[in-house]
Amino acid sequence: MAKASTKRPTLWGLHYSPWTEKARWALDVNEVDYRYREHLPMIGELPLRWHTRSRDKGVPASVPLLLDEAGSHGDSEQIARRAELLGKGFGLFPEGGDATLAEWTERAQAALEHARALVIHATTQSDLAQIESLPPAVPSLMRRSMRGVARRGARFLARKYGADPSALDEHERALQEFCSALAKALARGDHLIEDRLSYADMVCAVAVNAMNPPAHLFRHKPATRGVWTREAIVEAHPEVFAWRDRLYARHRGL
C-alpha cells in the first residue's frame, strides 16, 4: 500500500459525465481523500486548457482531470491507476487480466462515444433539457430567458466532440452490439475478470449508464434523463441494466 499524499488531490469533473464517474468510482473504492471541483463547459475552458497543455495537439481539453503532487492525470484509467497508489489499493487491475481489461475498456470507450453523440444531438433538439443544463445558481424565474445561453452550450459540445446527426442509426446499432456482447460475457457471472470487482466491470457499467442513467442521476431533471435514455436498448437488454443496478448496489453505495 502506498503512503497517502500530504496534499489532498483535486478532481475536476462533470457530475453527469460517464468519464468523471469512472474516475470518482475508482477514487471512492480506494478511499482516496480528494476534493471535487465541478467544471463548467465554455466558462471553465481556459483553466482546463492550462492544466492539460501537455496533451498532444488536437486532443481537446476535457475532464476528468486529477491534480496531485505528482502532476496532472487526465484519463479515467490513468486516474484509476493513480487511485490505487494514493488509496488503499483495492485491486481494480488484477494480475493476468490485462487482455480482458484492454478488450472491455476499448469496447466501453467506443460505446460511450456513440452514446455521447446521441445525447448531444438529443440535447440540441430539446429546449427543456437545455434549460435543465443551466447551473443551479441560475434562479428559476430567469432560466427560460437564458435558454439561448443553454443552446449555445449544447452546440459548443456538439462542435467540441464532433457529434454527427447523420450517423444516429449507426450510433444506436453500435450500442445494441455492445450490450449484446456484454450480456453474453456476463452469462458466466457478474464479473468480467475473476470473481470480484475490477476496472473492466466499472467501465462497462458506466457505459451502460449512458444509455439509461442510474436512479440517483438526473432525479429532478426529467428532460435530461429523457435525452440520455435509449428506450429500445433498455427493452432489448434488461439483464444488462439489472446487472448495472446490482453492481452499483454492492460497490457504489448509490
Write out pLDDT tens, residues 127-153.
Answer: 999 989 887 777 776 777 777 777 787
Strand pairing report for 10-13 and 65-68: antiparallel
Specify if 170 maps to a domain.
Answer: yes
In our burial notation (b when 16+ CB lie closer than 10 A, e otherwise), range 83-99 reads bbbbbeebebbbeebee
Total-model pTM: 0.86
Would you say residue 91 lies in a domain?
no
Tell me the average pLDDT across 30-59: 69
Domain containing 139: what range?
Answer: 98-251
Give the domain CATH number at 199.
1.20.1050
> Rounded to 5 degrees, what angle do the CA atoms 158, 201, 88 make?
105
Grade residue 164 by pLDDT with cuts at 50, 70 and 90: confident
64: preceding bond cis by omega (within 30 degrees): yes
pLDDT for 167-206, tens place per residue? Answer: 999 999 999 999 999 999 999 999 999 999 999 999 999 9
The pLDDT assigned to 52 comes to 59
64 within domain boundaries? yes
Q: pLDDT tens-digit profile of 52-94?
A: 555 545 555 578 999 999 888 889 999 999 999 999 999 999 9
Q: Please tell me whether residues 44 and 159 are part of one structural domain.
A: no
DSSP state of 67: E
CA distance 21 to 15: 7
Whether residue 92 is contained in a domain is answered as: no
Task: Name the grid cell of 199.
Answer: 476496472
* Domains: count for the chain: 2
More confident site: 181 or 158: 181
